């Protein structure tokens, strides 16, 4: 597949590909990792249609108390306790952590705040529910107060990227396909074929892009669970999440594969809690880990049936890339070439933060963030809530 194996990193290019543009923005994206271990920040320069050039990035780990606050907020949200003090506490703490992280990046890189046009705030998702009909609207709840971040950093901010989509009956997720399209379009050696991007975070989703795809050509949907079940299992059984797995239990794998979600046509989206580990509870720790990894890979392979045609290759990003057994199983299940985001020349560690920066610029320019074949909205949907920084 042209462009996946030998693609240089954006930062290493002497002469980056630069289309003729009328206006570009320098945006800073910030997002909390689903793993609860810290916050990612990344700066990009973009016009909101193509990635132009990456800038500085930073990872700031959370202190131990932050993880406790977030766990409590997630529990309260899942239990329907919207006004719980635990959620308010987590919101305040994570907002402050974001402000401190922004200041740290600016100071470390000697960047003046006036040189940053906007901050894209991804926040931390504490609750997600896909819509299931007119009487059961969806909800996506990210904590991290964009208004306070704009006030404290004195930089304009955009947050709540999913809210408008969900308000009109969309899933609000996946939110990143339009950014993946920009990454593909900005590669100096662009693939001469259809490309699939597999995102392995708490859930897994597939983004499909025909060659030279426009935004309306994008197709995206959650294939099934990602690493959340693996994280739960390795924590429950106290095993190393990178240890060699045991043997796949075919019967448990078959039973998990009966989940009705896997037969639904896209667009579709799930919550991290829509799948569970009940079918593997009697397995050894090693065999359970192997069976879960096989299930994640199997769900992604089964999701290919909904694509117009198999892509020429896949780019894989997200937390799951760090799990060798899962990546091996994915490579064995898919017939097309499978390359990591890093091998494709993308900044794998900060893709989510870059995406937040990109979406903020699209929001400023009144460009759609989501599309009918990515989130089930009826028409391309604008998004984001803008907060003006104090003068």
CA dihedral 297, 299, 302, 303 (to 10 degrees): -110
What pLDDT, on the 0 to 100 scale, is given for residue 6?
Answer: 36
pLDDT surpasses 70 at 19 = no
Residues contacting 158, CB < 8 A, separation 6+: 118, 119, 120, 121, 146, 359, 360, 363, 364, 384, 385, 386, 387
Q: Go through the domains of the chain in sequence order and give each one's CATH number.
A: 10-175+350-387 (3.30.420.40), 188-340 (3.30.420.40)
Is the pLDDT at 12 greater than 70? The verdict is no
What is the Cβ-side half-sphere exposure of residue 158, based on CA atoms within 13 angstroms? Answer: 27
Give the model's pLDDT for residue 3: 40
Q: How far apart are CA 91 and CA 73, in angstroms?
A: 8
**212 close to 223: Cβ distance less than 8 angstroms:** no
- Token readout for 347 is 């900044």
Instruction: Return all residues near 333 (Cβ < 8 A) that are at least 6 apart.
Output: 297, 298, 300, 301
**What does the pLDDT look like over 252-261, one tens digit per residue?**
999 999 999 9
The tens digit of pLDDT for each residue in 146-174 reads: 999 999 999 999 999 999 999 999 999 99
Give percent above pLDDT 70 in the chain. 93
Q: By the 8 A CB rule, do 347 and 13 touch?
A: no
Peptide bond into 267 cis (omega under 30): yes
What pLDDT score does 137 carry? 81
For residue 185, the model assigns a pLDDT of 86
pLDDT at res. 4? 43
């Amino acid at each position: 597949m042209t462009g996946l194996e030998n693609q240089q990193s954006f930062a290493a290019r002497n002469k980056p590909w630069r289309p003729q543009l009328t206006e570009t923005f320098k945006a800073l994206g910030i997002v909390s990792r689903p793993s609860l271990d810290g916050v990612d920040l990344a700066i990009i320069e973009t016009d909101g249609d193509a990635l132009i050039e990456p800038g500085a990035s930073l990872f700031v780990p959370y202190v131990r108390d932050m993880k406790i606050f977030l766990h409590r907020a997630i529990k309260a949200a899942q239990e329907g306790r919207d006004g719980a003090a635990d959620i308010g506490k987590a919101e305040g703490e994570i907002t402050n952590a974001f402000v401190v992280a922004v200041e740290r990046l600016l100071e470390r890189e000697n960047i003046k705040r006036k040189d940053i046009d906007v901050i894209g705030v991804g926040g931390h998702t504490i609750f997600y529910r896909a819509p299931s009909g007119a009487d059961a609207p969806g909800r996506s709840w990210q904590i991290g107060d964009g208004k306070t971040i704009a006030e404290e950093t004195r930089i304009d901010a955009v947050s709540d990227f999913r809210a408008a989509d969900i308000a009109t009956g969309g899933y609000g997720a996946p939110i990143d396909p339009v950014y993946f399209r920009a990454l593909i379009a900005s590669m100096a050696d662009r693939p001469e074929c259809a490309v699939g991007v597999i995102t392995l975070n708490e859930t897994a989703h597939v983004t499909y892009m025909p060659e030279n795809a426009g935004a309306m050509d994008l197709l995206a949907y959650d294939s099934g669970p990602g690493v959340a079940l693996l994280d739960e299992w390795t924590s429950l059984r106290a095993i190393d999440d990178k240890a060699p797995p045991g043997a796949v239990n075919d019967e448990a794998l078959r039973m998990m594969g009966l989940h009705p979600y896997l037969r639904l046509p896209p667009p579709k989206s799930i919550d991290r809690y829509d799948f569970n580990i009940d079918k593997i509870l009697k397995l050894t720790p090693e065999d359970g880990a192997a069976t879960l990894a096989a299930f994640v890979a199997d769900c992604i392979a089964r999701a290919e049936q909904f694509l117009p045609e198999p892509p020429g290759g896949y780019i894989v990003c997200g937390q799951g890339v760090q799990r060798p057994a899962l990546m091996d199983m994915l490579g064995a299940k898919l017939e097309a070439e499978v390359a990591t985001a890093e091998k494709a020349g993308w900044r794998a560690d900060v893709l989510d933060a870059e995406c937040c920066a990109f979406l903020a610029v699209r929001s400023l320019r009144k460009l759609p963030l989501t599309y009918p074949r990515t989130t089930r909205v009826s028409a391309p949907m604008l998004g984001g809530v803008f907060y003006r920084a104090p003068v």
